[in-house]
Amino acid sequence: MSILVTGATGYVGAYVAAELLQKHQDPLVLLVRAQSEAEAMSRLWHALQLHLSLEHFREFLASRVRVVLGDVTLPRLGQGEANYRTLVSQLHGIIHCAAALTRKSERTCYNVNLRGALTVIQLARAIDADHGLNRFTHVSTEAVAGHRQDEHVLEDAAIDWQREDYDPYARTKKLAEHLVRELVPAGKFVIVRPAIILGDSRHAETTQFDMLRAFVALAALPALPFSPDARLDIVPGDFIAESIVGLHQKPGLRYDTYHLSAGSDAERFQAIADAVAHARGKRGPVFVPWTRKPFELLVNLLAHPQGGELRRGAMLLKVFMPYLFWNTVFDNQRIVEELGQRPKAFSSYCYPLLQFAQQHHFRYPYRAWPAGAPAQGS
C-alpha cells in the first residue's frame, strides 16, 4: 500500500517516515521542496539521520522510497498532468505532515496550512475516485482548541468557532481540519492533534531545540510566573511517530480524531521544573503566579523589533507562552484505547535530553550528505 508522506524534511514528518521505513513494508512517496533530486536527497538525509544510519537510508532510497519534488502550495503539488495522474494511480494513502509553523507570517500560514492542505485533500479525493483511498491522515495540533484555561478538552469539543484563536498558525490549522471533515469521505480520514513534542523517550538526541531553549531560559530565572500545579502537555517524538503511523495503518478506527497528548498524566510545572533544575545541577525556581501579567507584558515588550539582545528568547517564549499558561488537559483516552500505549512522562527522559542539548549548544551535530552520492534508485 503506497503512502505519500508530506513534510518528511521536517521534525514530525521525518519521525513518521522513519517509523514507516523501520517497522512497515509499504513503499513510500516523499514530497520534498527542492530544486533538484540531489538537493532533495541532501535535505532528506539532514532530517532522517536522527533515525537512520547512512547505509540504511541509502538502502531504503534504493528499495522503497520514491522522492517527488513538489510544493503543496502549487497546483497538482507542482506536478505536470502526466506525473500527477501516475501519482494518483500509485498511491493508497496520505500522511499529511507538511505545514508552516511560523508565527511571523500570516500569509505563509494561509498559503501552506490552508491552500496547501486543500491541494493535498484534492489528491486524496482523486485517489479515492480512481481506486479507493485507504486513509488520509491529517496532522493537526492541540492549538486548534484556541484560548483555553483550566479545562479538560475532549476531542469532539476542541473546535469552538466562537472562541479566539491564539495566532494565524492555530487559526489556519483549525480551518484545515474543517476542510478535511467537509471534503474527505467519512471513514477515510483521521485527524491527529499532537501536544508539545519534545525529545525522544528512547535516546537523548533531538534535532528540535526551540522549546528546550525556552525551558532552559526559564529555568535560569530565580522565579517563574506560573502556578507550580499547572499542567504542561509534553509528549516524546517516538510516541507521536508510533501513534500517527499506528492509526494510519490500523483498519476500522473507532474515531476520526485523536489527541496525541499526555492526557490526565500531563505533568505539573513543579515536577518539570525540578527535573530541569536537576539536569542543570541547579536549584529549582520559586513560583510566583501573581506575576503573570507583568511577565507577559515584559515578554511582549522584549519580543518587539526594538527588543534588543533578549529579543530572540522573548520571541520564543511568546510562541510557547499560551501552552505554558493554559493548564489544560487534552484527553487522551481515545489513543490509549486504540493503540494501547501512553506517552512516557517528560520528567522521566528530560535529563539526558537537556544534557545533549547543552553539550551540543542547542544544535544537532549534522553529518553532511556525502558529495557525489548517487541519486535515488541508482
The three cell numbers locating residue 106: 500570516
Instruction: Please give the single-letter amino acid code of residue 376.
Output: Q
**Integer Cα distance of 124 and 128 in angstroms:** 6
Minimum Å gap between C-beta 119 and ligand NAP is: 9
Q: Is 201 exposed, middle or buried (0-12, 13-18, 19+ CB in 10 A)?
A: middle
Residue (196 or 316) nearer to ligand NAP, CB: 196
**Integer Cα distance of 97 and 10 in angstroms:** 8
The three cell numbers locating residue 24: 512497515
Minimum Å gap between C-beta 74 and ligand NAP is: 8
Residue (196 or 247) nearer to ligand NAP, CB: 196
Minimum Å gap between C-beta 113 and ligand NAP is: 8
Minimum Å gap between C-beta 210 and ligand NAP is: 9
Minimum Å gap between C-beta 77 and ligand NAP is: 8
**Integer Cα distance of 5 and 44 in angstroms:** 12
Q: What is the dihedral of CA 300, 214, 44, 73, to 10 degrees?
A: -20
Residue (236 or 313) nearer to ligand NAP, CB: 236
Residues that bind ligand NAP (CB under 6 A): 6-7, 9-13, 31, 33, 71-73, 97-101, 112, 116, 139, 141, 173, 194, 196-197
Residue (6 or 134) nearer to ligand NAP, CB: 6
Taking the CB of residue 215, how many other CB atoms lie within 10 A of it?
A: 27
Residue (6 or 249) nearer to ligand NAP, CB: 6
Q: Is 217 exposed, middle or buried (0-12, 13-18, 19+ CB in 10 A)?
A: middle
Minimum Å gap between C-beta 286 and ligand NAP is: 28
Of 90, 119, 129, the C-alpha closest to 3 is 90
**CB contact at 8 A, 158 and 141:** no
Beta bridge partners of 124: none
Residue (209 or 295) nearer to ligand NAP, CB: 209
Q: Which residue is nearest to ligand NAP (CB)?
A: 10
Residue (33 or 334) nearer to ligand NAP, CB: 33
Crossing angle, helix 37-48 and helix 54-63, to 10 degrees?
Answer: 130
**Integer Cα distance of 331 and 349 in angstroms:** 22
Minimum Å gap between C-beta 126 and ligand NAP is: 18
**CB contact at 8 A, 141 and 194:** yes
Minimum Å gap between C-beta 305 and ligand NAP is: 23
Residue (7 or 285) nearer to ligand NAP, CB: 7
